[in-house]
Amino acid sequence: MSCTLGAPLSQAGGITIAGLDLARPLPPVLREQIRAALRDHHVLVFPNQTLSREDQFAFTANFGAVEHHGGRSGQTKRYAAAHVITNLDDKGNPVDRSASPVSNYHWHTDKPYYPMPPMLTALYAVEVPPLGGDTEFANTALGYAALPEAAKQRIEGLRVVFYWGAGARRSETNARTPAELREHPGVDHPLVRTHPETGRKALYLGNHASHILGMPEPEGSTLLDTLLEHTTRPQFVYAHRWHAGDLVMWDNRCLLHRAVANYEMGRDRRIMHRSVVRGTVPV
């Protein structure tokens, strides 16, 4: 197997890697090429894949320890090899939640409330709407680099408290039970983290960010909101338009992402399989 890198998909990141069958064992040399592409382009698009959930699990396991899903306790497939992200209800009917979107529809990074948050996430499109249903990625290293020097100095050394459910303020469907909050009590991480492979600084924030450690809550919230708005400006964003069979893998250490409700959520089916690879303690 060999692979071909396409042209960059945007200034913010993204590249297509064609010619690979991810269901087959990955030779170490290809694994290293993929690692390097992820480091350089942050979002990798592997089109035309046919993957079982076990295949997806095995592919992502090439890059580190695959996390078990610790999501909503009601979810039946909780500890499956790759778990399901969908707009379908238990009976398989599409549900329009656009009035109160679940947390995936707000800018976020995956599981920042873990002491060792995931380095990467892989999302495989099983079924996608004919129109829309995009995923957007915002490059927080570019966002950091573009900050005025005074802002960089102001935020240097600050720590953000993340907890599972911090975003519930914005989304009633996501309110956590006391038991869920006990399961994930929250952690603090640097607001400016250094990417372990590129050495570049990036903002670390998003929907699960609660407040800034040691700062009055309103001031911390305003700062987080301002930085979020800054780093999600269009020039820092790559929007992925899905085709069924795409596997997209992204670097959670220098990106925010969100699902976009730009489709007929109450009519069209959107089914994705997701797996997440553990990273290191952010510094």
Q: Which residues bind ligand OGA (CB under 6 A)?
A: 85, 104, 110, 121, 123, 135, 257, 259, 272, 274
Decide which of Mn ion, ligand OGA, none touches 272; Cβ closer than 5 to 8 Å per partner kind. ligand OGA
- Binding residues for Mn ion restricted to 95-114, rule: CB under 5 A: 110
Cα–Cα dist 204/202, whole Å: 6
Rule CB under 5 A: say whether 251 interacts with Mn ion: no
Query: Phi, psi at residue 168, to the nearest 5°?
Result: -60, -25
Number of residues binding to Mn ion, judged by CB under 5 A? 1
**276, containing H or E segment:** strand 271-278
Cα–Cα dist 281/119, whole Å: 10
Decide which of Mn ion, ligand OGA, none touches 135; Cβ closer than 5 to 8 Å per partner kind. ligand OGA
Cα maximum dimension of the chain:
55
Give 147 or 232: the residue with its C-beta nearer to Mn ion: 232
Secondary structure class of 129 (helix, strand, coil): coil
Give 201 or 269: the residue with its C-beta nearer to ligand OGA: 269
Give 26 or 189: the residue with its C-beta nearer to Mn ion: 189
Provide the minimum distance between the beta carbon of 259 and ligand OGA in the complex, in angstroms, as a whole number.
3
Give 163 or 242: the residue with its C-beta nearer to ligand OGA: 242
Cα–Cα dist 29/206, whole Å: 35
**122, containing H or E segment:** strand 118-127
> For ligand OGA, which residue has the nearest CB?
259
Is the separation of the CB atoms in 281 and 116 below 8 Å?
Answer: yes
Provide the minimum distance between the beta carbon of 214 and Mn ion in the complex, in angstroms, as a whole number.
28
Q: For residue 127, give both structure tokens.
A: 């079924």
Residue ranges in contact with Mn ion by CB under 5 A: 110
